[in-house]
Structure 1
């Protein structure tokens, strides 16, 4: 009797276990089936997007610009993007996204590196410019992937050619910097020119500020007692916006920097001179715009960003000096700091770079030269043991 009871209990347990097993299998089958249906639906939805819209590269670029670039990029960046978009829309704009592949983009990039890539000069585009084109294309196609217009970004495996159509290795453009003697000659020459240009280029050389940062300076940014200046705005120009005020290039670009006492004295003299000119103009009944900016037009309106460049070009030509553009003063300042043994972190903070890595990348040649000097310094400190 007892044995029958035990046997019946074992049969019951086995039966329940079998039933649970069947239930589990049934549930797993249902889940897998559901996932398969969902995946198929998603694929069908994706295919429907492609089939129904037949979106072109231009349509995607316009949507990206409206929904992303206008809300996240500075006007100077958007102006560059508009120029690139004009070229790309002409070359690829009418192509359906369905026809764009990695080989399509690779062929296009190769074409930019050939003769005629630069529509103005007929030469190949520079490697830097081609990188800008690639950045733009990568951005719009990444947007397309994110919102389901395409499955993959066709730019992912594209390589920028290392040799252009002229058979030349595409290296970064060599940075031209004034020598110490040239810089001294230039500073000496500036003592005999219009006061505001003397101040502008002396500031550029001694502080390493960007052109837009100098043009954005206002008198209340200076603390002449502490000999420092706060950088917190820029003045820029685009054909659409005209001359306008903007934030600095990056968050790290907002900074305080020290200025020499001699420069502080010169700036105060310039401030008095500027105020005298404004009063004189107002006394003649001429238009004057109230402003706190250091660098303005005669009527007080902000100076056009191209004005210092064109003035310097004319001045250098007149005095037989080499002309390397306005940005070269920033490079000169950086190289002088590095050659003086200032570390990359400090140089980066002074220049307003986003990270010290940026400084190291741009001025790697200067730091390499300093490595050699550091070895000699150690050897000298040890009494020239070697």
Structure 2
């Protein structure tokens, strides 16, 4: 069949009940050899062996570090314990269905199981292309139906004003103005650097995210999508708030002296180090308590910014660009709760235009 990795001859053996059957198997092997589709000789590969190889050698050069860390976790916790010891070429669709059922019974959400399925589908697709398996059995499986996302719970205008008023005088107070006025993702806000803020033009550029990657700590990563890289016009009051933020941070820097870590971050710890997502979320909850408004997710601050823009009459396309959505349909899909009111406003404007 050619040569092995060490240069020695690769010999294959087949057996069958009749000579004719053996000849057919030999012809099949020869066809694979001639087509350059010879698999590795020796012990049959297990599912866990292939998934580990795929993650470390194929996925690792295509996805971000945080995504790769998620893949490794899903393989270790959700796949290897159930199908890892099965032979890759003998994996059946029923094995996947049983695994998904066990994951759901264990308490994993349908959305999480769906992510596991999609990752496994990619890995098996490559295995099929390389003739490791005859077919991708993940294509034969119906994954759990994903639950419809919860309707965002944005703050209204009065609640926003109360939150911003409560943030006055707090350290990193502009962090919350950025959340509610610009709708940045948490990772984007925590990765903002002063070089991203143009005070003269009144703009702010989103160029990176800040994420915790196992084994590496907090690292800067590429934005979620290519549209996430964007430059936003900043309201004048927020520009002034950022100026105050910079003055306050410079004062902290003088106090700390040589112990300051210069990450150039807009929002940082008192020593210049990055803020952790968990501590940032805890600060958000304390702020909501201080403002005496209902608790919402920090990500709903992003939904708040979008809802305020849409209800103010800003075109959904513009909102899409400001938020960094990758597709136009994403904006109206997520904010369908405000679209009827906008449609009614459009009808009223048309009535005024044509009949008044």
Normalising by structure 2, we get a TM-score of: 0.83
Distance, in Å, in 2 between the alignment partners of 1:101 and 1:368 is: 47
Q: Secondary structure at the match of 2:51?
A: helix
Measure how far apart 1:233 and its partner are. 1.8
Given the alignment of the two structures, is residue 55 of structure 1 paired with residue 45 of structure 2, yes or no?
yes
Distance, in Å, in 2 between the alignment partners of 1:48 and 1:147 is: 9
The aligned residue for residue 30 of structure 2 is 41
Which residue among 159, 163, 188 is the counterpart of 1:182? 159
The aligned residue for residue 111 of structure 1 is 102
Is the 8 Å Cα contact of residues 228 and 259 (structure 1) preserved in structure 2? yes
Is the 8 Å Cα contact of residues 110 and 160 (structure 1) preserved in structure 2? no
Gap regions ≥5 residues in structure 2: 1-24
The aligned residue for residue 81 of structure 1 is 71
Measure how far apart 1:96 and its partner are. 1.4
Which residue among 245, 248, 265 is the counterpart of 2:220? 245
The aligned residue for residue 62 of structure 2 is 72
Measure how far apart 1:170 and its partner are. 3.5
Matches within 5 A, 1:214-363: 214-282=189-257, 287-363=259-335
Measure how far apart 1:296 and its partner are. 1.5
Distance, in Å, in 2 between the alignment partners of 1:265 and 1:298 is: 21
Distance, in Å, in 2 between the alignment partners of 1:47 and 1:235 is: 42
Gap regions ≥5 residues in structure 1: 1-35, 119-124, 163-168
Normalising by structure 1, we get a TM-score of: 0.77
Q: Secondary structure at the match of 1:323?
A: coil
Distance, in Å, in 2 between the alignment partners of 1:109 and 1:379 is: 54
Q: Secondary structure at the match of 2:240?
A: helix
Distance, in Å, in 2 between the alignment partners of 1:184 and 1:38 is: 77
Question: What is the CA RMSD across the aligned residues, in angstroms?
Answer: 2.7
Measure how far apart 1:38 and its partner are. 7.2
The aligned residue for residue 171 of structure 1 is 148
Measure how far apart 1:377 and its partner are. 3.0
Distance, in Å, in 1 between the alignment partners of 2:245 and 2:139 is: 53
Is the 8 Å Cα contact of residues 46 and 148 (structure 1) preserved in structure 2? no
Distance, in Å, in 2 between the alignment partners of 1:306 and 1:251 is: 26
- Say which is worse superposed, 262-271 or 104-113, in terms of deviation: 104-113
- Say which is worse superposed, 130-139 or 39-48, in terms of deviation: 39-48
Is the 8 Å Cα contact of residues 234 and 245 (structure 1) preserved in structure 2? yes
Is the 8 Å Cα contact of residues 312 and 323 (structure 1) preserved in structure 2? no
Shift in CA distance, 98/84, structure 1 to aligned 2, threshold 3 Å: same
Which residue among 100, 121, 124 is the counterpart of 1:141? 124
Is the 8 Å Cα contact of residues 215 and 234 (structure 1) preserved in structure 2? yes
Highest Rg: 1 or 2?
1
Shift in CA distance, 315/46, structure 1 to aligned 2, threshold 3 Å: same
Q: Secondary structure at the match of 1:156?
A: helix
Distance, in Å, in 2 between the alignment partners of 1:280 and 1:191 is: 22
Measure how far apart 1:343 and its partner are. 2.8
The aligned residue for residue 4 of structure 2 is none
Given the alignment of the two structures, is residue 373 of structure 1 paired with residue 345 of structure 2, yes or no?
yes
- Say which is worse superposed, 246-255 or 360-369, in terms of deviation: 360-369
Given the alignment of the two structures, is residue 160 of structure 1 paired with residue 143 of structure 2, yes or no?
yes
The aligned residue for residue 13 of structure 1 is none
Distance, in Å, in 2 between the alignment partners of 1:69 and 1:235 is: 21
Distance, in Å, in 2 between the alignment partners of 1:42 and 1:105 is: 31
Shift in CA distance, 106/365, structure 1 to aligned 2, threshold 3 Å: farther
Shift in CA distance, 187/59, structure 1 to aligned 2, threshold 3 Å: same
Which residue among 186, 191, 200 is the counterpart of 2:175? 200
Greater relative contact order structure (CA < 8 Å, 6+ sep): 2
Distance, in Å, in 2 between the alignment partners of 1:254 and 1:170 is: 29
Measure how far apart 1:82 and its partner are. 2.1
Distance, in Å, in 1 between the alignment partners of 2:149 and 2:46 is: 33
Matches within 5 A, 1:3-22: none
